[in-house]
């Protein structure tokens, strides 16, 4: 059996299991100028609390530095506890036959049980960000909670109000009414964090109580994870500092005593405990949404209405592009801002308002940082020609967004069986009305089709920018060992891939 890697939200459940998050996709980064501006605007008006300028311990021995930081800053970290009432609907699961028969062979009558209510409890972590009692944590720590309370490092308990939460970043803001001075954790600049830099994770693992400290380094910066399963990932900070269930919402602290991330997920092969691969939401991402969460309780973002992907060398070569910069448009939402602006599938967006779009991550973050109603100029490449289109951003939607008979086969060279897409199959696949294409009926193991990433049930919508109508079209497109750029429909979405034919014996 193959080992399965799971992304586990690091929240400890009492008598239950942690939340499992599935699906990793591409991610996006705000260019330096745009991100700096977003962070500056986000921190404006945010109370600095009682925190003094933190001492810079980065030059000293890590052990000494973190001892001093643990004493000075861990008092700002709190245990976050939640309760949620659930209703059990009587008997559940399979009940053996003998349960229904008496000793004399006569049946027993099952008496229906009344629904039973019980309280589920879970715990996580958080940290105080100003003297007024605002606390940062993860959204998944407090989701579905009927009651939230926090315990500070000195043992004081406070009822907490969920002020705001954001699914895309998995950030939530809590508020308590202080009964005395609070220790405030300074917020650092996660953009300046570098792989190899010493960091410390603080939190409440397994609901043990108190604040536990673990030390490691930044292992990787910019790991793309889709926290909300909306196709808009966050570039996470990866660390080997131990993060366990119950650490969710706690801070990842640098050697200057500043929070540079919110501990969120761990990667595991089964056991819900640290495997040395943990992930934190960058603190600059939290800063960018903090003002809206405090003021409105939710985040409103700009939206173009596109499905996009980054370019790789094969895709760029198939489009006769010299580099891989830009975001490739794989689908345009009907009636969305991009469609109204004239954007088409297959376009490559190179700039937005004059700023370079390096990849799909850049475009997503740049658009998300703008307000709905903003007008943006998109610099695109279409069939080798540069164009400039103007789009008016909409509001990012917060909700989540068969067999065919007959047809030809392209087995042998490409290892692919195809059939024409008919109206019934298109309907079963929830494709837009009037869609055309070729349905993948089978893929031979080890074939060029499998190596390209094609699967049974995929629909090939276009070949090198032209509507896909027949298997012979693929044969012609790959003549002379030329790769073909395919636009694919799968699981309610579109993307591109490159199909490379197998080399002939004479060319080996």
Place of tokens 């199909």: 499
321 near 297, Cβ under 8 Å? no
> For the chain, give me the number of helices (H) and strands (E)?
10, 31
Cβ-Cβ contacts under 8 Å for 324 (sequence gap 6 or more): 310, 311, 312, 313, 315, 316, 359
What's the burial of 100, exposed, middle or buried (CB within 10 Å: 0-12/13-18/19+)? exposed
CA distance 109 to 55: 72
Catalytic residue among 130, 143, 166, 170: 170
Question: What tokens does 459 get?
Answer: 């629909």
Place of tokens 């069939």: 383
Taking residue 256's Cβ as centre, other Cβ atoms within 10 Å add up to: 17
Catalytic residue among 74, 125, 130, 140: 140
118-136 as b/e, with b when 16 or more CB fall inside 10 Å?
A: eebbbbbbbbbbbbebbbb
219 near 195, Cβ under 8 Å? yes
Helix 32-43 to helix 360-368 angle (10° resolution) is: 30
Catalytic residue among 190, 212, 219, 248: 248
464 near 318, Cβ under 8 Å? yes
Question: What tokens does 90 get?
Answer: 């009587």
Label each residue of 86-115 as H, E or C.
EEECCCCCCCCHHHHECCCCCECCCCCCCC
88 assigned to active site: no
170 assigned to active site: yes
CA distance 75 to 68: 12
Question: What tokens does 128 get?
Answer: 């105080």
The residue count for the chain: 508
Q: What is the widest separation between alpha-carbon atoms in the chain?
A: 87
248 assigned to active site: yes
Cβ-Cβ contacts under 8 Å for 66 (sequence gap 6 or more): 57, 198, 200, 213, 215, 255
Taking residue 23's Cβ as centre, other Cβ atoms within 10 Å add up to: 13
**Which of 246, 153, 239, 245 has the alpha carbon at shortest distance from 200?**
239
What's the burial of 333, exposed, middle or buried (CB within 10 Å: 0-12/13-18/19+)? middle
Helices (H), 243-400: 283-296, 313-318, 337-341, 360-368
Question: Which residues are catalytic, by number?
Answer: 140, 170, 248
């Amino acid at each position: 059996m193959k080992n399965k890697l799971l992304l586990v939200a690091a929240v400890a459940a009492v008598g239950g299991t942690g939340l499992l998050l599935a699906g990793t996709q591409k991610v996006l980064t705000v260019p330096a100028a745009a991100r700096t501006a977003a962070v500056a605007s986000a921190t404006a008006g945010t109370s600095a609390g009682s925190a003094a300028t933190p001492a810079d311990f980065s030059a000293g021995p890590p052990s000494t530095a973190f001892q001093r930081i643990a004493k000075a800053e861990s008092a700002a970290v709190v245990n976050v506890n939640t309760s949620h009432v659930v209703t059990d609907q009587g008997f559940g699961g399979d009940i053996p036959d003998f349960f229904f028969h008496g000793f004399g062979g006569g049946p027993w009558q099952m008496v229906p049980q009344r629904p039973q209510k019980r309280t589920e409890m879970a715990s996580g972590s958080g940290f105080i960000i100003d003297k007024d009692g605002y606390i940062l944590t993860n959204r998944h720590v407090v989701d579905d909670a009927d009651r939230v309370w926090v315990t500070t490092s000195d043992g004081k308990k406070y009822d907490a109000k969920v002020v705001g939460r954001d699914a895309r970043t998995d950030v939530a803001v809590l508020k308590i009414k202080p009964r005395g001075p609070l220790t405030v954790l300074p917020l650092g600049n996660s953009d300046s964090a570098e792989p190899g830099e010493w960091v410390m994770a603080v939190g409440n693992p397994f609901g043990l109580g108190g604040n536990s400290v673990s030390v490691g380094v930044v292992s990787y910066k910019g790991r793309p994870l889709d926290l909300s399963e909306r196709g808009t990932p966050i570039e996470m900070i990866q660390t080997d500092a131990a993060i366990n269930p119950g650490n969710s919402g706690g801070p990842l602290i640098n050697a200057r005593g500043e929070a540079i991330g919110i501990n969120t997920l761990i990667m595991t092969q089964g056991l819900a405990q640290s495997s040395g691969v943990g992930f934190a939401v960058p603190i600059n991402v939290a800063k960018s949404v903090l003002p809206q969460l405090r003021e409105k309780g939710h985040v409103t973002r700009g939206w173009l209405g596109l499905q996009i992907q980054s370019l790789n060398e094969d895709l760029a070569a198939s489009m006769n592009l010299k580099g891989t910069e830009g975001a490739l448009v794989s689908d345009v939402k009907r009636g969305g801002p991009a469609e109204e602006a004239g954007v088409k599938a297959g376009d490559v967006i190179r700039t937005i308002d004059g700023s370079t779009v390096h990849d799909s991550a850049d475009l997503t973050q740049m658009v998300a940082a703008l307000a709905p109603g903003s007008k943006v100029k998109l610099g695109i490449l279409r069939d080798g020609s540069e164009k400039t289109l103007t789009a008016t951003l909409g509001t990012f939607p917060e909700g989540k967004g068969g067999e065919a008979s007959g047809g030809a086969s392209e087995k042998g060279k490409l290892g692919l069986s195809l059939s024409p897409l008919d109206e019934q199959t298109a309907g079963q696949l929830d494709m837009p009305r009037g869609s055309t294409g070729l349905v993948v009926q089978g893929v031979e193991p080890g074939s060029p089709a499998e190596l390209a990433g094609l699967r049974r049930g995929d629909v090939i919508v276009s070949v090198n920018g032209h509507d896909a109508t027949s298997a012979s079209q693929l044969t012609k497109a790959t003549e002379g060992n030329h790769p073909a750029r395919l636009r694919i429909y799968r699981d309610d979405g579109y993307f591109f891939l490159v199909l490379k034919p197998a080399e002939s014996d004479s060319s080996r």
